[in-house]
Amino acid sequence: MHEISLFQAITLAVAFVGAVLGIINTWAGLDKSRVKLIVSTAHLVPVGNADPRLRFSITITNLSAFPVTLIDAGVFYHGTSERGSFVMPIFSDGGNWPKKLEPRTSVAIYAERPRPNGVHRIKTAYARTACGVTKTGGGKALKQIAAEET
């Protein structure tokens, strides 16, 4: 039998820790370069002079380590590649498309309540970036709207 000396055991342990830390560092580096958005929905209740047609909201939060430019948001439908895009929404911070979101910031998009496209029910809300990344999300508001459709 070949015995391992204390020096060899310490060297092996340090090499193992170094390999594990290298893998963790690589994963963290790759994770930093990903687009991370949270897409959530809510019902709106117009108060005062607010436009009574605005009954729905999509909130998009940028959790990426870099700014992201949004170019589109709306809803996807079940069983089709069609989408219901919010063409002229009202933004919580004013402005219009495209919308630049700095890291750790969010924007709410107000629009009319989404409707089924005639044949297909609403599936999920989405936000699309200028770099072509599309993230989806939902919430209780979208589930309630989908349940009312059936």
Query: Domain residue spans in the chain?
Result: 1-33, 37-149
pTM: 0.79
| Whole-angstrom distance, CA of residue 35 vs CA of residue 111 | 25
Fold category of 37-149 in CATH: Immunoglobulin-like (2.60.40)
Query: What are the tokens at 115?
Result: 């409707």
Describe the strand order of the beta sheet including 54-62 as a list of residue ranges.
Answer: 37-43, 54-62, 106-112, 90-91
Separation CA 57–CA 18 (nearest Å): 47
Which residues, 6+ apart, have CB-to-CB distance to 145 below 8 Å?
Answer: 56, 113, 114, 122
The residue that leads in pLDDT, 126 or 49, is 126
Supply 2's token pair: 């070949």
Give pLDDT tens digits for 58-108.
Answer: 999 999 999 999 999 999 988 888 888 888 888 988 888 899 999 999 999
